[in-house]
């Protein structure tokens, strides 16, 4: 934000060297980045915190300087407005909080002072009328707009576009607007301005016009910010409206504009004025004693000094009279220590809401350098280790050692990705109240959904890589969850790879993995398996993605982790005196019903010297199921001959064949 020194002196009488003025602003939180010289005048280029919209104006900066130097500031000269509400204005959206329309007749002429001040602010002169609206914007921080009255004589309507439309702006560009963008329209439905951002060609005044409608309004900051970001357009107006501006600033701006019309001697006449307001802002107060301010700061600043600092910033200590009306009492000398009172926050200080904000205001002006340097008296102790960090590191190291590629994606996703995530995990996506964009409007509810989208985009761009994983937080209605997502291609035996990985992870926590068939979710038919373990639960399944004219199958797995740290010691069973012998048998099936029948049969079999029979692997390709059963032969007490082992295997096969089951 630029500050011409000559403009500062219009409100504060001062003769300080330019270097001292720059240093003062830096000390109170507005660093001077550069001292410029424009048109023979000194200009400060100051950095402005994003939450301080009150100092996006010459008058706001002048108030800060006057407070820092304990100087008086000249009040803004304003022209009163008679609100008659004869002109029709309709507010059809809550994104417009207030709208003031003033019907004016103006005969303007060029003014060298205004043109010079605009040049000092880095802006070129356009026309006398537009120059004056820009001048008042820089002076008060309130954007204004002049409509030619011929285009709005029947009235104004403020509403959202409600559909996708093209908007021809006065900068010569055409913008594609969304249904949520806020527009200023006339009664014919013609779009005259994109609210708070830029006007249209039809809605902009020309030198030949003599009759106008002056717009002074307050638009919702989130609406302006989202619209400006969507069309990638930043103007002096949107730069202010997309922050939280003074809800009463529109009146100050309009009254200042009318005062300047008289000051410049331009012929003007106010025909009528209409004000339409939504829900009115309540007076904001903060309660804190001066003794508490000193206690928090560890200082002993005099009460009157605290009063002076806050009052100079427009923050007054107040109380209510018997009728319940506010009255100023900060000048009244109080007894020792102040009773618990309230401080009335001016409407332009939208950044103040809690007692700590007032404490910061006091020390900011009083001087951070005056703070006493004392060490806090606290007992130091070593912090406990972060279990989550150790678990995450252990998982990453393990998966990377198997050749995996770690991916890290944003926790903010689109609504479309949220719907896919819900179908995978069952968690409903959580919508953010004030998202920066539609693509980042939900908290993610699935890791796999993001992995799938990333893999699909990479393959469409021609990139090819091995399997990948991500560990991160997902969200449901009540809590954050730690999930692991895995993705691998079918052509690289993805299902077997993923099974080996999760079984190895379970083994590290002395657990095993159980699989069961499931038909829920968006996976390919008969490909989904539910996964249950002591330390995680989840699902495994296949997706088909389209890459141009080709189709590709990938296997994905999402696990909700319930791991603990430190990892348990690996259980090592005593070695048997005699080795067990393992034999595998592969069975093909055509459908899930047949698979269930085979599983039930095998679990019921009792074969001599066979200790255990369990399903070792499941592999599905197209419509065929391959089930691999493992026989554990022996009892650990003696060794068996090859003939005995082969006989047990033949007995098992014969039992299978009796039930008309085909072996590979």
CA 30 – CA 121 distance, rounded (Å): 17
Strand 342-345 versus strand 316-320 pairing type: antiparallel
Q: Residue 10 CA to chain centroid, in angstroms?
A: 41
Judge whether residue 320 has pLDDT over 70.
no
Judge whether residue 519 has pLDDT over 60.
yes
Task: Lowest mean pLDDT of 404-413, 486-495, 627-636, name the range.
Answer: 627-636
Beta bridge partners of 104: 212, 270
Residue-wise pLDDT for 72-99, tens only, equals: 999 999 999 999 999 999 999 999 999 9
Alpha helices by DSSP H, listed for 210-323, are 221-231, 236-241, 249-264, 290-297, 303-312
Question: Rounded to 5 degrees, what are φ and ψ at 242?
Answer: -75, -5
Q: Residue 540 CA to chain centroid, in angstroms?
A: 31
User: Given this model, what pLDDT does residue 330 score?
Assistant: 42
- 502: alpha, beta or left, given left = phi > 0 and alpha = psi -120 to 50? alpha
Residue-wise pLDDT for 276-292, tens only, equals: 998 887 888 999 999 99
CB 316 within 8 Å of CB 328: yes
421 burial (CB, 10 Å; 0-12 / 13-18 / 19+) is: buried
Block residue for tokens 């790879």: 497
- Can you list the domains of the chain with their CATH numbers? 2-69 (3.30.56.10), 89-277 (3.50.40.10), 284-368 (3.30.56.10), 387-561 (3.30.930.10), 581-658 (3.30.70.380)
518 burial (CB, 10 Å; 0-12 / 13-18 / 19+) is: middle
Q: Residue 534 CA to chain centroid, in angstroms?
A: 36
> 446-460 burial, b if ≥16 CB within 10 A, otherwise e?
bbbbbbbbebbeebe
> In this structure, what token pair is assigned to residue 343?
């401080």
pLDDT band at 321 (very low <50, low <70, confident <90, very high): low
pLDDT band at 340 (very low <50, low <70, confident <90, very high): low
In angstroms and rounded to an integer, the radius of gyration of the C-alpha atoms of the chain is 37
CA 75 – CA 89 distance, rounded (Å): 31
Strand 2-4 versus strand 480-489 pairing type: unpaired
Percent of the chain with pLDDT over 90: 57
Please give the average per-residue pLDDT across 17-25, as a whole number. Answer: 95
Torsion of CA 223, 227, 233, 235, to 10 degrees: -20
pLDDT band at 592 (very low <50, low <70, confident <90, very high): low
Please give the average per-residue pLDDT across 396-416, as a whole number. Answer: 92
Question: Rounded to 5 degrees, what are φ and ψ at 557?
Answer: -145, 135
User: Given this model, what pLDDT does residue 414 score?
Assistant: 92
CA 512 – CA 510 distance, rounded (Å): 7
- 341: alpha, beta or left, given left = phi > 0 and alpha = psi -120 to 50? beta
Q: How far is CA 433 from CA 230, 437, 491, in A?
A: 17, 11, 42
Which of 169-183, 606-620, 643-657 has maximum average pLDDT? 169-183
DSSP3 helix / strand / coil % (the chain, rounded to 5):
30, 30, 40
Alpha helices by DSSP H, listed for 331-382, are 355-366
Task: Lowest mean pLDDT of 20-24, 347-351, 493-497, 621-625, name the range.
Answer: 621-625
């Amino acid at each position: 934000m630029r500050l011409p020194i000559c403009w500062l002196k219009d409100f504060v009488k001062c003769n300080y060297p330019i270097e001292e003025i720059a240093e003062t602003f830096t000390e109170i939180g507005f660093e001077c980045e550069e001292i410029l010289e424009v048109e023979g005048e000194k200009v400060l280029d100051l950095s402005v915190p994003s939450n301080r919209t009150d100092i996006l104006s010459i008058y706001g900066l002048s108030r800060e300087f006057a407070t820092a130097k304990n100087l008086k500031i000249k009040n803004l000269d304003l022209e009163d407005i008679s609100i008659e509400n004869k002109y029709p204005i309709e507010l059809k959206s809550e994104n417009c909080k207030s709208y003031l329309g003033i019907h004016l007749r103006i005969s303007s002429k060029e003014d060298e002072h205004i043109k010079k001040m605009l040049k000092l602010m880095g802006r070129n002169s356009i026309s006398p009328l537009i120059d004056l609206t820009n001048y008042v914007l820089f002076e008060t921080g309130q954007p204004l707009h002049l409509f030619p009255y011929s285009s709005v004589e029947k009235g104004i309507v403020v509403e959202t576009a409600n559909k996708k439309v093209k908007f021809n702006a006065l900068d010569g560009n055409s913008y594609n607007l969304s249904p949520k963008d806020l527009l200023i329209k006339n009664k014919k439905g013609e779009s005259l301005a994109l609210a708070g951002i830029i006007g249209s060609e039809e809605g902009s005044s020309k030198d030949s016009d003599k009759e106008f409608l002056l717009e002074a309004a307050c638009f919702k900051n989130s609406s302006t910010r989202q619209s400006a970001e969507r069309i990638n357009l930043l103007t002096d107006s949107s730069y202010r409206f997309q922050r939280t501006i003074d809800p009463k600033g529109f009146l100050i701006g309009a009254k200042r504009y009318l005062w300047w019309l008289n000051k410049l001697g331009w012929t003007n006449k106010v025909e009528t004025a209409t004000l339409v307001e939504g829900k009115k802002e309540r007076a904001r107060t903060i309660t804190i004693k001066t003794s508490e301010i000193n206690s928090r700061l560890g200082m002993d600043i005099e009460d009157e000094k605290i009063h002076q600092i806050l009052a100079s910033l427009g923050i007054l200590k107040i109380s209510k009279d018997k009728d319940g009306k506010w009255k100023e009492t900060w000048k009244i000398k109080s007894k020792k220590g102040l009773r618990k009172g309230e401080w009335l926050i001016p409407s332009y200080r939208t950044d103040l809401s809690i007692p700590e904000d007032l404490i910061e205001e006091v020390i900011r002006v009083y001087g951070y350098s005056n703070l006493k340097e004392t060490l806090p008296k606290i007992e130091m102790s070593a912090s406990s280790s972060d279990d989550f960090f150790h678990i995450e590191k252990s998982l990453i190291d393990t998966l990377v050692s198997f050749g995996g590629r770690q991916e890290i994606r944003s926790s903010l996703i689109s609504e479309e990705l949220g719907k896919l995530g819900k179908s995978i995990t069952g968690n409903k996506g959580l919508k953010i109240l004030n998202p920066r964009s539609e693509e980042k409007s939900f908290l993610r509810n699935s890791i796999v959904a993001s992995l799938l989208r990333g893999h699909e985009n990479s393959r469409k761009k021609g990139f090819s890589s091995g399997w990948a994983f991500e560990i991160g937080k997902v969200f449901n209605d009540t809590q954050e969850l730690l999930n692991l997502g895995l993705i691998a291609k079918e052509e690289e035996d993805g299902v077997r790879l993923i099974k080996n990985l999760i079984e190895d992870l379970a083994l590290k926590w002395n657990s095993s993995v159980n699989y069961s068939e499931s038909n829920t979710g968006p996976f390919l038919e008969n490909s989904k398996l539910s996964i249950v373990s002591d330390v995680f639960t989840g699902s495994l399944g296949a997706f088909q993605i389209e890459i141009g004219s080709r189709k590709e199958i990938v296997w994905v797995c999402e696990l909700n982790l319930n791991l603990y740290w430190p990892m348990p010691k690996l259980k090592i069973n005593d070695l048997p005196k005699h080795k067990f012998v393992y034999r595998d048998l592969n069975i093909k099936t055509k459908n899930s019903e047949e698979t269930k029948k085979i599983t039930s049969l095998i679990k019921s079999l009792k074969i001599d010297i066979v200790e255990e029979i369990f399903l070792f692997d499941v592999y599905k390709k197209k419509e065929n199921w391959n089930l691999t059963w493992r026989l554990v032969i022996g009892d650990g007490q003696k060794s068996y001959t090859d003939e005995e082992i082969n006989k047990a295997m033949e007995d098992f096969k014969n039992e299978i064949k009796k039930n008309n089951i085909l072996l590979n």
